[in-house]
Amino acid sequence: MSDLPGWRQGDLPHAPAYNPSNLVRVIGPGAILLGLSLGAGDWLLGPAVAATYGPTLLWICTLSILFQAILNTEMARYTLATGEPIFTGFMRQRPGPAWWAGFYTLLHLAQVGWPGWALAGGAALAALLLGRVPRAEDGSIVVTLGAVLFLGAVAMAVLGRRVQRALEIAEWIMLAWMLVLLVVLGVVYVPGALWSMLAWSFLGRPVWEPGWLPVPAADRALDWVLVTGFAAYSGAGGTVNAMLTYWLRDKGFGMAGTVGAQPIQAGGQTVLLQREGVIFPPNEANLAKWREWWRYLRADLSSLWTAACLIGMGLPVLLALDAVPRGTDMSGVGGAAVFARELSRRYGAMLWVPALLTALWIFVSTQIGIVESFARHVTEMLWTGGVRPAGAGIGWVYYPVLGLLVAMGGAAMTVAPPLTVILIGANVAALNFAVLSVHTVSLNRALLPAALRPPRWREAIVLLGGLGFAALVARVTVRLLLSV
């Protein structure tokens, strides 16, 4: 059983009055998660799937994003109710805090320790410097530039102040720029019939094509590693979704506004050391305030995040369907530079540099967010779980955590081209979804008062989504074993 301090009792604070100005002020965790969601999935995996299979697999993206939206809010349910991140809740269950802290640290490292974002950014930067798509013989250049970008992300985490707020602002700017660029290209150049086909493809039924099937007819032709990675990274992906609960806590959502946490400087970041949550009695007054907070949560995580993820995936895929010839290989060392090349061929050479700069911005900002989140949140997770030397300061946890990420990331960048490195992490994210789905439902049902638990249909969707990802991972495992 848990050896964490028990929850204190307190009343749920009022949410700010629900209006547009407060909505802009309160939301933010969803924007940070969205920025991480729009990294490799939208700018690389989406176009790669479109170039390989056309529009026939986009319904997988829709199902994945809807599943993740519900899973996100179910993980956030625990934070709203107790003020604790979901991982602290996991530590309250058997076999205990240290075990769960170590377990989820390893799962998170196994997912994000593959810095494909920096490597893909290195490919975009190499293309800018070379004036062409990097070829196999340019692999060392791509790896070197990727390593520079990766270490730059680490330096920002160690030396930068107010990284989280700056990251949130950068994500909004990135989203606005990407949206403007893609919408302008789509409206000006892409025919209306292709827009219609895209919309129907996300729904799984392009009615204009007789005999169309929701997946390619030859199952053996499916690249299950690509399909599974596409499904996982259609949203944020695995344990990255769960880190949302730290941002909700930091924003003061629900009971998070009443918890006590000690801010400690580690490197250039502030780590909140919290070991005590607060639960509210589910009386009528508190439940009314609970519903107020859920309006903001739905706006941030269900409406904003879900719609933006679909749009963020849909627009690059739309341009890929229009500009990238079917069968184009994006798995080489050039990565996203191949997408930029095809866009410039279709819409004009002047688009070459803006497309590469957009890719570079997306990948670098995503990598910075991943490093910042890993260092800060894993440090807090391990500290809360008691995984630290007796009497040691926070630096004895923070710097080894960051060093572990740097060591694994540095080695991983030399293993394969950008798309493959990204797909390895994405497939681990699929496995992590299966674990998180079961654990989240179990936690909320075991620890939350009955009035705060989700309805059965939401639990069923979370569990079915987790089962779906488990099936995809099993399919990938079988395929890989058969190919050995």
Alpha-carbon distance 117 to 103, whole Å? 24
pLDDT tens column, 27-50: 777 666 766 666 667 889 999 999
Q: Can you give the residue ranges of every domain in the chain?
A: 8-483
Which residues have C-beta within 8 Å of that of residue 121, sequence separation ≥ 6?
145, 146, 149, 359, 360, 363, 364, 367
Q: Is 346 exposed, middle or buried (0-12, 13-18, 19+ CB in 10 A)?
A: middle
Q: What tens-digit pLDDT sequence spans the chain (484 residues)?
A: 457 889 999 999 999 999 888 887 887 776 667 666 666 678 899 999 999 998 889 999 999 999 999 999 999 999 999 999 999 999 999 999 999 999 999 999 999 999 999 999 999 999 999 999 999 999 999 999 999 999 999 988 887 666 656 666 776 777 788 778 888 999 999 999 999 989 989 988 654 455 555 555 544 478 999 999 999 999 889 999 999 999 899 888 999 988 866 666 666 666 666 667 999 999 999 999 999 999 999 988 888 889 889 988 999 999 999 999 999 999 999 988 999 999 999 999 999 999 999 999 889 888 988 998 999 999 999 999 989 888 778 889 999 999 999 999 999 999 999 999 999 999 999 999 999 999 999 999 999 999 999 999 999 999 999 999 999 999 999 988 888 6
Residue 482: the pLDDT is 85
Please tell me the distance from the alpha carbon of residue 108 to that of residue 125, in angstroms, as a whole number: 27
- Torsion sign, CA atoms 325, 326, 329, 330: positive
Residue 482, phi then psi, degrees to nearest 5:
-70, -25
Architecture of the domain defined by 8-483: Up-down Bundle (1.20)
How high is the pLDDT of residue 268? 63
pLDDT in tens, 128-182: 999 999 999 999 999 999 999 999 999 888 876 666 566 667 767 777 887 788 8
The whole-model pTM stands at: 0.93
pLDDT (0 to 100) of residue 3: 78
3-state secondary structure 285-320: HHHHHHHHHHHHHHHHHHHHHHHHHHHHHHHHHHHH
Residues in Cβ contact with 351 at an 8 Å cutoff, skipping those fewer than 6 apart: 185, 340, 343, 344
Residues 6+ apart with CB under 8 A from 89: 78, 82, 443, 447
DSSP label at 3? Answer: -
Give the per-residue pLDDT at 177: 81
| CA gap 416, 40 in Å, rounded | 15
Integer angstrom CA distances of residue 147 from 16, 315, 356, 368, 369: 44, 29, 18, 13, 16
How far from chain centre, in Å, is Cα 130?
Answer: 31
Tell me what pLDDT residue 180 has: 87
State the residue for tokens 């739905």. Answer: 298
Q: Are 9 and 19 in contact (CB under 8 A)?
A: no
Q: Are 400 and 185 in contact (CB under 8 A)?
A: no
Q: Could you tell me what percentage of the chain is helix, strand and coil, using 3-state DSSP and rounding each to the nearest 5?
A: 70, 5, 25
